[in-house]
Amino acid sequence: MELKLIRKYFTEDYTIGKLYVDDKYFCDTLEDRVRELEDYNHDGDFDDSGEGKVYGKTAIPCGRYRVTLIWSLKRGRQVPLLSSVPGFTSILIHSGNTAQDTEGCILVGENKQKGKVLNSRYHEARLTNLIRDAINTNKEKVYITIKQ
């Protein structure tokens, strides 16, 4: 299964995108602000002075990442996890409504209000079920490609 997130709208506080599943529109997304990131000292993170990452307030770099499911103690359910994101850990796709809910992750829902996604739990559950079926039933690997 191939997921594709196309980032569309960029502000100082958040980023709005569109999520596609196997090239079919699925829902909208909300992420933190996209920042210029540079690993000047080549230590694998972007946390050092001048490298650009603001913890919990920075969208992940564009790229292609493997998606699996993990049990989230915080959320009390399975959620999609992106693997091997350079300089980031524990990047999930989950429910939430505003940039304050992202913590660097990707929120799914409907962008019907400026700076928000709505009906997020519904879209998270639908996406998680699709990913679970792809992995468990169809024995597929799942990937997400993020583009601007």
Cα four-point dihedral sign 54, 60, 66, 72: positive
The Cα–Cα gap between 144 and 97 comes to 21
Radius of gyration of the chain (CA): 15
Please report the pLDDT score of residue 3 as a whole number: 98
Mind listing the pLDDT tens digit for each residue in 60-78? 999 999 999 999 888 889 9
Q: What three-state secondary structure class fits 81?
A: strand
Please report the pLDDT score of residue 48 as a whole number: 78
Q: Which of 126, 140, 133 is nearest to 19 (CA)?
A: 126
CA 122 to chain centroid: 16
Please report the pLDDT score of residue 108 as a whole number: 98
What are the φ/ψ torsions at residue 17 (nearest 5 degrees)? -140, 180
Q: Which of 18, 16, 146, 9 is nearest to 82 (CA)?
A: 146
Query: Torsion angle of alpha carbons 123, 98, 58, 87, nearest 10°?
Result: -40
- The residue type found at 18 is K
Under-70 pLDDT residues of the chain: 51
**pTM higher than 0.85 for the full model?**
yes
